[in-house]
Structure 1
Amino acid sequence: MDAPAVVGELRQLHEEAEDPSVERMPADDEVYGALLYAEKHAGALRKLALEKQRAAAVRRVQLWEYLRERAEVHQARAVADARAADAEWVELAPALAVNAPSAAYNKAKRLRAAALDDEVPDGDPLRRTPEAVIAAELRIARQKQEAQRAEEAARQRHRLLMPVAQRLLDHREGLVLDEDAEYWLDEVAEVLPNCVTGIQMVSLHRYLSAAVRALSRLEQRTARPVAMTDEAGIALSAAAHFVEQ
């Protein structure tokens, strides 16, 4: 929900009703204060048609629901910070308005479900049970580990990409080139010296792949190896192996 926009709609209705106090209504991004104002001055809307009064009240309901959901998310984060600072469940029980450490633990897990829904907004709503939350946390932890492994694999490939490309360029004179292969090797030579960012790495990989394909097509077309020296042949084989992975 775009809460400030909804507050703006409420403000417009109060202005339309010529609410004499509307200038004291908090700003659109001060949702809680604006709601308290709208509740206190709801009578000012009686000049409007019943349909508009109803729309304003429904908007208030929606905004309170939004704040309730956001409060759960932020309270869950506060509990996590308290636990990270070695707060015991017995200490958190009164803060969470429950009577026992076990009840504090269970309520914290229910709050954590709201935080997880906020972290993964496109997923199915999470059941508010400790078991469901623990399972979701384990699933998210596995996903993060897989993402980290994928990132590390990508970084490793990037570290290998540059020397493979450089080696092929070093033995360029030992290759038979046509116009296509020469063009792509020129592109590799252009980007390689300043290849730092992820986008540049992707471009370098694309250019190297295109160069390898061009050399392979040239071999197929001429039925002759494009490598005129052993070193050029090894460099080309290494590049072809890399781009095929």
Structure 2
Amino acid sequence: MSRRTRKSTAPTKPLLKPPVRIGNLDTAAVIGELRQMHEEAEDENVGRMPADEELFRALLYLETNASALKGAEARRTSAIIRVKLWEYLREQADVHQLAAVQDARAANVEWSALAEPLAVSTPSAAYNKAKRLRASALTDPGCGDRPVRRTPEAVLAAERQAAVRAAAERRAQNEAARRHALLAPVAQRLIEHRTGLDDDDEVTFWLDQIAAVLPNCQTPTQFVSLETYVFAVVRELRKVERTTARPAATTADAQLAYTAANQLVAR
């Protein structure tokens, strides 16, 4: 019987199974709970325990004085919480060490000079460790925005995905800005000559919306809203023409404004 061959694992497969992270945690509140446990156990040294905000020093105190807790259940609970807090501290260390590395690189520090601070022996190892630290700042949208694994391949794949998303967002913003450059003058003409347009309630409502958003239309969301309002005005004016058999515009300027809006909508 032939032996089954194992399939090789893709180097980016860790992206598919991102690790669980502690994430946001009110560490001062948690330390406060542990302090209360030591007070209730009448820990004679609890007065020397560092402030709740001093996470690292407080953890060292709790470790040294763990035996002051009375009962196995209290000691188990405290130990589990301490494990969680140390894991949280490790996550935060990754984030802030990465920031320090990025600041060093921005200041033209070579990888060779970062090897010793990163506790590695070569510039390439320093580079790879920095890449792994990038995992602390990257998420994979395909897995619920959870962090990626600390492998150079997984980080590189996540960075490529982030670059693709950023490029798509820039294209969308540029297209919105281009559309707005065409739309704003048309919207302005509709407002300027609104008295020459049919005063149907729906037409009036959408013209009021244009008048409200147009003066401070600067964000992509506002661009979309303005376009929606202009399209709605054209739709309602067309309906007026269709249902009443009369022109939607009663003046030459209003007709020109309506025609320009019609042409824009048709693009």
Identify whether the pair has TM-score above 0.5, normalized to the shorter chain: yes
Cα distance per residue 1:102-127 (max 9 Å; x no partner): 22222221122223249999424423
Structure 1 residue 240: deviation in Å? 4.0
Identify the residue that residue 134 of structure 2 maps to in structure 1: 112
Letter matched to residue 46 of structure 2: V
Aligned to 2:4: none
Task: Give, as a single letter, the amino acid of the residue that structure 2 aligns with 1:10.
Answer: L
Q: Quick one: structure 1 residues 159 and 23, their matched pair in 2 at CA, closer, same or farther if it must change by over 3 Å?
A: farther
Q: Decide whether the 8 Å contact of 1:4 with 1:31 is kept in 2.
A: yes
Deviation at 1:210, TM superposition (A): 3.5
Match of 2:44 in 1: 20
Partner of 2:68: 44
Q: What's the TM-score once normalised by structure 2's chain length?
A: 0.77
Q: Output one character per residue of 1:16-44: Cα deviation in whole Å (capped at 9) or x when no partner.
A: 21223323322333211211111122122
Asked if the contact 2:202/2:236 (under 8 Å) is kept, the reply is yes
How far, CA to CA, are the matches of 2:81 and 2:245 in structure 1?
74
From 49, 54, 59, the equivalent of 1:30 is: 54
1:19 & 1:130 partners in 2: Cα distance? Answer: 47
Structure 1: which 5+ residue stretches go unaligned? none
Q: Take 1:172 and 1:85, find their aligned partners in 2: how far apart are those partners?
A: 58
Matched residues in 2 for 1:220 and 1:86: separation? 68
Structure that is richer in helix per residue = 1
Corresponding letter in the other structure for 2:211: A
Q: Secondary structure of the equivalent of 2:188?
A: helix
**CA drift at 1:84:** 1.8
Give 1:62 deviation, angstroms: 0.6
> Alignment partner of 2:109: what SS?
coil
How many residues align? The count is 242
Which has the higher relative contact order, 1 or 2, with Cα contacts under 8 A spaced 6 or more apart? Answer: 2
Judge conservation of contact 2:186–2:261 (CA < 8 Å) in 1: yes
Task: Give TM-score, length-normalised by structure 1.
Answer: 0.83
1:76-225 equivalences in 2 (<5 Å): 76-117=98-139, 122-192=144-214, 194-196=215-217, 198=219, 204-225=226-247
Shift of 1:134: 1.9
Q: Mark the CA change 1:189 to 1:125 in structure 2 (over 3 Å): closer, same or farther.
A: closer
Supply the AA of the counterpart residue of 1:130. P
Taking structure 1 as reference, are residues 122 and 26 closer, same or farther at Cα in structure 2, changes over 3 Å only? farther
Kept in 1, the 8 Å contact 2:140–2:146? The answer is no
Q: Which residue of 1 aligns with 2:8?
A: none
Worse-matched range after superposition: 73-82 or 125-134: 125-134
Deviates most, 233-242 or 136-145: 233-242
Measured against aligned partners, the alpha-carbon deviations of 1:55-106 in whole angstroms (never above 9, x if no partner) come to 1100000111111121122212211221222222221111111112222222
Gap regions ≥5 residues in structure 2: 1-23
2: CA distance between counterparts of 1:14 and 1:177?
A: 75
